[in-house]
Amino acid sequence: MFTAIQIFLLAVVIFAISRVYLRLKEGVITSRMAFFWFLIWIAALVGVTLPATTTRIAEFFGVGRGVDIIVYISLALLFYLVFRIYVMIEDLRHQITYLIREIGLSGSSKIRKNRKRSKK
């Protein structure tokens, strides 16, 4: 039988998997990205339904409890994801700047052309 926390976590994981599937179907995320997230959530599903597996993994890595290994892995993963998001935001920033620059430069050349025309 599942405990209350397991049922709650199972619901969260199933909801997350359904979201990944829907976003993949909509074409919002690539199949590579979907594969990564499916992997993460299926690992979570295994961890929730069979907690003994996490204990075994923890023992393998020399960590005391199964929960501890989940926390450590999650933290490392979160830090990595935050870094990726930071890089992505930086890329977006550069793209916005590129657009702003192009608009600015084309605007200045238009003004010059208009000035030349009005002089003629």
| Least distance in angstroms from the C-beta of 10 to other proteins | 37
Q: CA 49, 62, 66: angle at the middle one, nearest 5?
A: 20
Tokens of 4: 């209350």
Q: Which C-beta is closer to other proteins: that of 77 or that of 111? A: 111
CB 70 within 8 A of CB 78: no
Which is nearer to other proteins, 11 or 103 (by Cβ)?
Answer: 103
DSSP 49-78: H-HHHHHHHHHHHT-S-HHHHHHHHHHHHH
**Closer CB to other proteins, 22 or 78, in the complex:** 78
Which pair of tokens denotes residue 22?
A: 């829907």
Q: Are 34 and 20 in contact (CB under 8 A)?
A: yes
Least separation in angstroms between residue 5's CB and other proteins is 37
Smallest distance, other proteins to C-beta of residue 108, A: 5
Write out the residues near other proteins by the rule CB under 8 A.
Answer: 83, 86-87, 90, 93-94, 96-97, 100-101, 103-105, 107-108, 111-112
Q: How far is the CB of 96 from other proteins (least distance, A)?
A: 7
CB nearer to other proteins: give 15 or 80.
Answer: 80
